[in-house]
Amino acid sequence: MKITRIETIPVRVPLKAELAIRSGRGGGHTNSPFLLVRVHTDAGVAGIGEASCTPRWSGEDQVTGAHLIRTYLEPLLIGEDPKDVAGLTRKFRLAFAGNPFTKAAVEMALWDIAGKAAGKPVYELIGGRVREFVPTKWSVSGVEPERAAAIAGWAVAQGFRAMKVKVGIDPDGDVARVRAVRAAIGPAVKLGVDANGGWSREVAAATIGRLGEFGIYFVEQPLAPEDGVHLSELRKTVQLPIVADESVYTLQDAMMLAQLGAADVFSIYVGKAGGIGPARQIAEFAQIAGLKCTVGSNLELGVGSAAMVHLALATRGIAAEEFPCDIIGPFFYEDDIVQKPLPIVPGAARATATPGLGVELDDEKVERYRVR
Ligand SMILES: [Mg+2]
């Protein structure tokens, strides 16, 4: 089997207005551009992938992704056997620097082909499942307290038993939002906070102290991504697990944070890491280093979400039972571009035994949401 062509399709799917995200990373998240990828082969089998186009995270968008794939990855991959996923990933990692979300879209499409060729779901190809389902948590946007409380209450009614609240916007507002959410969900729901790097050192220390009374179980990315040394200092003074998200894209980032003692948990993404395989390497390292992982999200559609489910089902270093994963993208959208999404329900994400990623593009919907 040989790769013959890589097709890229820019799409934009509307978010449900009531769930649009506001965070400490700046800006809002009100529309979601993605670049879909279809890797074609001479055997009539095609694999699909999805890149979250989040320039604030990685500098990538639909135009850069399509350009890099057409100019560098397609020439490198044409004629190659798509089933050699790890070998090809090593090869194209060096084709251009950075741009992990673009690389991840192609990598997951290769896994999709490899699974279809082997007649096995991707989780079986990457080591087999270590859990029946992936526990997930909800994410409450950094909106005003009353609205945050209403969203949190809705999430509990849907079945979520863990969630996080976006903070890092302004300290008093952050505290008011977390207080309102805790009041709305009661004491039994696990609650964490995610500052998306929006706090200064002083504000982080003071605000985490103020949040103590609301029974939070982790603090995610309290400081700017580059601030590993101070994150390590902050961690020594905080009694809660520190989750590193924007600070950890690569295995090298994870190793550096471990060396600094700057985090308890890594939030890994298929997109940030540049694929399912590279994300698993971070989780394997974390396990050896005595650290934990969860899976974070850029609110993926059905293809990206499927890649996350397979990763988390088959990766022991992902401590999903203790730190539920953010496999919640599909809940945020009016519609999806896959024919039949994986069974991702509130609080639990599952895969099926369908070969590959287990989802197929719905051509009619892809055309409806295509960016022209
Ligand atoms: Mg985060």
pLDDT per residue as tens digits for the range 91-124: 999 999 999 999 999 999 999 999 999 999 999 9
Cβ neighbors of 106 (< 8 A, separation 6 or more) are 6, 37, 39, 49, 69, 73, 77, 92
Instruction: Kindly give the distance from the C-alpha atom of residue 83 to the centroid of ligand 1, in angstroms, as a whole number.
Output: 32
Angle at 115 between CA 113 and CA 120, to 5 degrees: 160
Q: Do the first three CATH levels of 3-120+364-369 and 125-349 match, i.e. the same topology? A: no
- In the chain, DSSP finds a helix count (H) and a strand count (E) of 15, 15
Q: Residue 15 in 3-state DSSP?
A: strand
Q: How far is residue 191 from each of residues 68, 211, 214, measured CA to CA in Å?
A: 39, 11, 8
Instruction: Kindly give the distance from the C-alpha atom of residue 196 to the centroid of ligand 1, in angstroms, as a whole number.
Output: 6
Cβ neighbors of 259 (< 8 A, separation 6 or more) are none
pLDDT confidence of 27, banded at 50, 70, 90? low
* Number of residues in the chain: 372
Q: How far is residue 81 from each of residues 36, 42, 50, 163, 277, measured CA to CA in Å?
A: 21, 10, 20, 41, 17
Q: Who surrounds ion ligand 1 at CB < 5 A?
A: 194, 220, 245
Instruction: Kindly give the distance from the C-alpha atom of residue 20 to the centroid of ligand 1, in angstroms, as a whole number.
Output: 15
What pTM, to 2 d.p., does this model score? 0.96
Tell whether the model's pLDDT for residue 80 goes beyond 90.
Answer: yes
Looking at domain 125-349, its CATH superfamily turns out to be Enolase-like C-terminal domain (3.20.20.120)
Tell whether the model's pLDDT for residue 351 goes beyond 80.
Answer: yes
pLDDT confidence of 21, banded at 50, 70, 90? low
Q: How far is residue 155 from each of residues 74, 135, 190, 298, 346, measured CA to CA in Å?
A: 42, 14, 12, 18, 8
Instruction: Kindly give the distance from the C-alpha atom of residue 246 to the centroid of ligand 1, in angstroms, as a whole number.
Output: 7
Instruction: Kindly give the distance from the C-alpha atom of residue 63 to the centroid of ligand 1, in angstroms, as a whole number.
Output: 25
Instruction: Kindly give the distance from the C-alpha atom of residue 72 to the centroid of ligand 1, in angstroms, as a whole number.
Output: 30
Pick the CATH number of 3-120+364-369 from 3.40.50.300, 3.40.50.1820, 3.30.2040.10, 3.30.390.10: 3.30.390.10
For 32, phi then psi, to 5°, come to -125, 100
Q: Hey, where are the domains in the chain?
A: 3-120+364-369, 125-349
Instruction: Kindly give the distance from the C-alpha atom of residue 62 to the centroid of ligand 1, in angstroms, as a whole number.
Output: 22
